[in-house]
Amino acid sequence: MSNFKSGFVALIGRPNVGKSTLMNHVIGQKVAIMSDKAQTTRNKIQGVYTDNDGQIVFLDTPGIHRPQSKLGEILVKTATDALEEVDMILFLVDVEAGLGAGDRFIIENLKGIETPVYLVLNKIDRVHPEALLPLIDQYQKLYSFTEIVPISALQGNNTSTLLELIFKRLPEGPQFYPSDQVTDHPERFIVAEFIREKVLELTREEIPHSVAVVVDQMSEREGQDIIDIYATIFTERKSQKGILIGKNGVLLKEVGKRARIEMERLLGSKIYLNLWIKVKKDWRNEEMMLRQLGYRD
């Protein structure tokens, strides 16, 4: 057997390019929350891939965008800091959307960083193969990428090649996590993310990203295979609270039901989920809230 390799790989890219999809495909378990809306992944989530060749610890970064609020600034800082410490950066782009201002902003942020950057052209299932070369050309003019890898994260096309190329440049190293561990995130966080995902799924455009979820309590019942979870959904406006509750509470019930199913799958036990909604105006800019939500320590 060859020597074991290991390292940390950051996934970066504009919202919706497929970072979570790629990680979930590689890890084979739903650890990052996917959505067809931008900016679902707010916190850094680690996914761990282990095989006989080595171990890759993925950091699903929240992404680098032009900051528009304090939360936005923190996100950019978190993402950029993470890039200095990793062994490799996977810069995901959406070949269907093409090279946009968001990509240019990220490339600008990459310029001071020494870490090798792989350009990963995702969603190749959405374009004609002939469209790829001119697009690669456009990106190469802006940055000298260490590798260029076209994939479809959704269909799994070429993802094994991507893994090989990652291992090619990872240093020899120890196994950081047991091979059956796919994430080091506290379950509370994942549980909160499940709830937030269902809110976004069921409310579409009415509830923008001004929703946050805090798990207030999570405990196993004595002698029973039941976990009690108490969580609060924060919205910015009263009207949003109304929408979220829905007529006769139908919408909130559905959020709870769908989230519970995911949680039971993740935690392997019965869940009793208790959801509250609170209005907290302008939470995005409130330091205290940010701290409580884990964006600050």
Q: How far is the CB of 13 from ligand GDP (least distance, A)?
A: 6
Q: How far is the CB of 171 from ligand GDP (least distance, A)?
A: 27
Residues 104, 13, 134: CA angle, nearest 5 degrees: 55
Work out which of 41, 158, 183, 235 binds Mg ion, going by CB under 5 A: 41
Residue 276, token pair as written in the block? 């509250």
Contacts of 116 (CB under 8 A, 6+ apart): 87, 88, 89, 146, 147, 169
242 binds, among Mg ion, ligand GDP, K ion, none (CB under 5 to 8 A by kind): none
Q: How far is the CB of 129 from ligand GDP (least distance, A)?
A: 14
Q: Taking CB under 5 A as the rule, does residue 183 contact Mg ion?
A: no
Work out which of 5, 6, 13, 20 binds Mg ion, going by CB under 5 A: 20
55 binds, among Mg ion, K ion, ligand GDP, none (CB under 5 to 8 A by kind): none
Q: How far is the CB of 23 from Mg ion (least distance, A)?
A: 8
Q: Which residues of 179-201 are buried (b: 16+ CB within 10 A; e: fewer)?
A: eeebbebeebbbbbbbbbbbbbb
Work out which of 24, 40, 122, 235 binds K ion, going by CB under 5 A: 40
Q: How far is the CB of 30 from K ion (least distance, A)?
A: 13
Q: Taking CB under 5 A as the rule, does residue 35 contact K ion?
A: yes
Distance CA 189, CA 56 (A): 22
Contacts of 266 (CB under 8 A, 6+ apart): 30, 187, 190, 191, 194
Residue 267, token pair as written in the block? 């935690």
Specify the residue, 38 or 279, whose C-beta has the smaller distance to Mg ion. 38
The residue with its CB nearest to K ion is 40
How far apart, in Å, are the Cα atoms of 130 and each of 126, 135, 136, 160, 274? 12, 10, 11, 22, 52
Q: Write the DSSP symbol of residue 209.
A: S
Residue 176, token pair as written in the block? 């950081």
- Which three-class secondary structure state does DSSP give residue 217? strand
- Binding region for ligand GDP (CB under 6 A): 13, 15-21, 34-36, 40-41, 122-123, 125-126, 152-154
The interface region with K ion, picked from 15-23, 111-119, 138-146, 277-285 by CB under 5 A, is: 15-23
Distance CA 62, CA 40 (A): 8
123 binds, among ligand GDP, Mg ion, K ion, none (CB under 5 to 8 A by kind): ligand GDP
Specify the residue, 20 or 122, whose C-beta has the smaller distance to Mg ion. 20
Q: Taking CB under 5 A as the rule, does residue 43 contact Mg ion?
A: no
Residue 13, token pair as written in the block? 């890219």
Residues that bind Mg ion (CB under 5 A): 19-20, 41
Residues near K ion (CB under 5 A) are: 16, 35, 40
